[in-house]
Structure 1
Amino acid sequence: MGDIAAACDAPPAPQMTKESNLFMRIAVHPDGTVTRPEVLLLPPSSSSSSACAVLSRDVPLDASLGTYLRLFLPDPAPPRRLPVVLYFHGGGFVLFSPATAFYHAHCQAMAAALPGLVASLHYRLAPERRLPAAYDDAASALAWFRAADDPWVAAHGDLSRCYLMGSSSGGNMAFFAGLRASRALDLSPAAVPVRVRGLLLHQPYLGGVARTPSEARSEDDAMLPLEANDKLWSLALPEGADRDHEFCNPVKAMPPEVLAGLPRCLVTGNRDDPLIDRQREFARWLRDQGGVEVVVKTDHAGSHASELFVPERAEELFAAMREFVFA
């Protein structure tokens, strides 16, 4: 399985510097609106290629909000039912979509490598729609599966093995979506039972007012420089909130009792990520304060988001996912 990520045409690693960083190129205007840098977008793939045997298609979620899901299915689909992964992309809550080239390729590779039915959510972005708008869209996406009227889900998905997965800000979203799911009561007897078996939290985007050592060292980080990190949180958090708000710093702002009922979690991260101190602290909080079953793999090599561009980093992540999902 080691060549899956390469076979699915992961985009080449950009020659990233602080100056060329996409987050640094977000222009914030005096009226609070932003202009985003342009990125390559890809359509869904109605037929699989020799490079990556995965089909994809878009399905609407809420037309009034402009949200949708991009589904990824191995082709041919295995004869057995596949675990379902609801995926939330990164971008600091401000950038990107399932159609962004590197997230499209990443979800293709994930569907093939697991294998699984992957659904990547196009959620509302900040600052036009600040948090918790993205969390609301994540909850709507999970509710969509309970309708179970999609042919791919009906024919190939095992909704008794559903996983919430996210990277960076998407990892943050997966955590909060998991909290909501653990508290929700399905009162509709006609609903299809959806069992969230676990949360796959890759390099979850977390913060706080006080700097951690890894954050303090990140002023010139190529993938997530400190200035960009500050900018993203200022655009994403509710108006007037500081970075000790629970959406940013749950370890400080949330009582551990809220973790009751949370399913098992996989927390993964890379050693050179400016957020690595937060991620390790978060994993300890889940396990030691919340009593959550946690698998921690936060010693992988690489920078923030390196799995999007480096096939070896992607395969390490997929291997950890397979071990967690099929344990």
Structure 2
Amino acid sequence: MAMAIYNIFLLFLCFCQLGHKITASDEQKTPSHTLQEAYDVLGIKPNPDGSLTREIRIPMVNATPNVEPTSTTQIALSKDIPLNPFTKTFIRLYKPLNPTKNSKIPLIIYLHGGDFVLFSAKTVIFHEFCNQISAQFPAVVASVEYRLAPEHRLPAAYDDAMDAIMWARSQAVCGNGSDAWIKQLVDFSHVFLLGSSAGGNAVYHAALRALDLNLSPIKIRGMIMNQPYFGGVHRTESEIKLSEDAYIPLYVNDLLWTFSLPKNANRDHEFCNPLMIGRSYDLGKIKRLPRVMMKGDDGDPLVDREKMLVKFLEANGVEVVSIFNEGGHHGIELSNTTAAQELYDAMKNFIHSTLKFKHINH
């Protein structure tokens, strides 16, 4: 009981100090829209059994495990490998087309965006994102094909992220039995978790879960959250200001959370609102998180949530590198090549500075 009271008090102080006003009413100042409007925006149709028909508008692409002789733009190789046969998940693994010889590189476990409801590791925008990361950093990238809601509500995506972390550990342990790309290239003491939007949310929860496990010989050195997908019952100023945002309007966002969260849970469930600690995670665990990079954009309705989480983590001793850009929008790196390159450079710098700090202190 004392811990619960302390947690509530801490949250009150956190809200007071963050400088991002939370409104008193759940739906205050938000225009009304029909469910059908939200379905149309998302390109989905609900089915009687609770599943969704997804009219995918962004194409999916196959992996490219071999050098394509006629290609002038290929920068990485990729292949799909099974992750969990019971959940039918897999990993799309990437390696640079021309990796540096006799030099090990980091392993990045990547969780794609899509608000837990849409898209795939095979979706072309995420496939190209991972190609760029693998080639530019350089790194081996393990992009996780996690299960989607509402067919598989949270914490299914977190479970799949943990499967990927344990897969990485098994690759490190099995030595000669590991995947050839992994064995040749990966430094298992240099593992990073990276997620965009819903993937950023999943990275946060997976990193907290991983603290309970002995992952040796792998070491998670840092976590990168790119515009992570969080929410809450009461509106932030950015949510109200950008309620009719072209990329993630509030009425669509609310529907996505009803699909993603456990049944009968509201948006103050810890899966949605990371400041609602005390159910699965205590402050002691949060204090043990690795170094964090948080990237957001002021034109994103979620930006206040991200700034609040940065303040919360820093207040609990977590080292955070935060990058908040003026303007922009949710998912800007997927459509704007300049913004994408700025993000690649920032993530690369974060990884290199994290590893440099590790070497200095060892």
TM-score for the superposition, normalised by structure 1: 0.89
Q: Deviations over 1:192-233 (max 9, x none)?
A: 611000001111100000011111123321111111101110
The answer as to whether partners of 1:165 and 1:174 remain within 8 angstroms in 2 is yes
Q: Pick the aligned partner of 2:322 from 296, 302, 306.
A: 296
- Residue segments in structure 2 that go unaligned for 5+ positions in a row: 1-36, 172-177, 354-362
Aligned to 1:102: 125
The answer to whether the aligner puts 1:32 opposite 2:55 as a matched pair is: no
Alignment-derived partner of residue 339 in structure 2: 313
Amino acid at match of 1:196: I
Aligned to 1:228: 252
Does the Cα contact within 8 Å between 1:26 and 1:35 map onto a contact in 2? yes
Residue in 1 aligned with 2:351? 325
TM-superposed deviation, 1:301: 4.2
Q: Which residue of 1 aligns with 2:99?
A: 77
User: Could you say which residue in structure 1 is the equivalent of 2:181?
Assistant: 152
Q: Shift of the alpha carbon at 1:284?
A: 0.7
Which one of 256, 271, 280 corresponds to residue 247 of structure 1? 271
Give 1:257's match in structure 2, choosing from 260, 264, 284.
284
In the aligned structure 1, how far is the partner of 2:314 from the partner of 2:40? Answer: 34
Q: In structure 1, how many angstroms separate the alpha carbons of the residues matched to 2:237 and 2:192?
A: 32
Which residue number corresponds to residue 163 of structure 1? 192
CA pair 237-23 structure 1, distance change in 2 beyond 3 A: farther
Which runs of structure 2 are paired with 1:1-327 in the superposition (5 Å)? 24-38=42-56, 39-48=58-67, 49-79=71-101, 80-148=103-171, 149-186=178-215, 193-254=217-278, 255-288=282-315, 290-299=316-325, 301-327=327-353
Secondary structure of 1:185's match? Answer: coil
2:301 match: secondary structure: coil
Query: Is the contact made by 1:131 and 1:237 (CA closer than 8 Å) also made in structure 2?
Result: yes
**Counterpart contact for 1:183–1:261, Cα < 8 Å:** no
- Work out the CA distance in 2 between the residues paired with 1:251 and 1:52: 42
Q: Supply the distance in 2 between the matched residues of 1:150 and 1:102 (Cα, whole angstroms).
A: 26
Q: Deviations over 1:98-120 (max 9, x none)?
A: 10011111111111121111110
Aligned in 2, Cα 1:300/1:167: closer, same or farther, shift over 3 Å?
A: farther
3-state SS of paired residue (1:302): coil
Q: Which amino acid aligns with 1:281?
A: M
Q: Deviations over 1:264-295 (max 9, x none)?
A: 1000111211100000001110111x210111
Which structure would you say has the larger Rg?
Answer: 2
| TM-score, normalised with respect to structure 2 | 0.80
Distance 2:255 2:233 in 1: 13
Deviation at 1:260, TM superposition (A): 2.7
**Conserved in 2, the CA contact under 8 Å of 1:89 and 1:97?**
yes
CA shift, 1:47, in A, is 2.8
Stretch deviating more after TM superposition (82-91 or 300-309): 300-309
Alignment check: 8 A CA contact 2:243 2:301 kept: no
**Equivalents in 1 of 2:317, 2:236: separation in Å?**
24
User: Structure 1, residues 177-197: CA drift from partner, whole Å, max 9, x if none?
Assistant: 1111122124xxxxx611000
1:35-55 CA-to-partner distances (Å, cap 9, x unmatched) read 112231100012344213200
Structure with the bigger percentage of helix: 2
- The count of aligned residue pairs is 303
TM-superposed deviation, 1:262: 0.7
Separation (CA, whole Å) in 1 of partners of 2:190 and 2:147: 26
C-alpha root-mean-square deviation of aligned residues, in Å?
1.7
CA distance in 2, matches of 1:160, 1:84: 9
* Unpaired runs of at least 5, structure 1: 1-18, 187-191
Letter matched to residue 93 of structure 2: L
Structure 2 residue identity aligned to 1:143: M
Contact 1:21 1:222 in 2 (8 A): no
Query: What is the identity, as a one-letter code, of the residue corresponding to 2:304?
Result: D
- 1:128 Cα deviation from its structure 2 partner: 0.6
Query: Matched residue of 1:119: which SS?
Result: strand
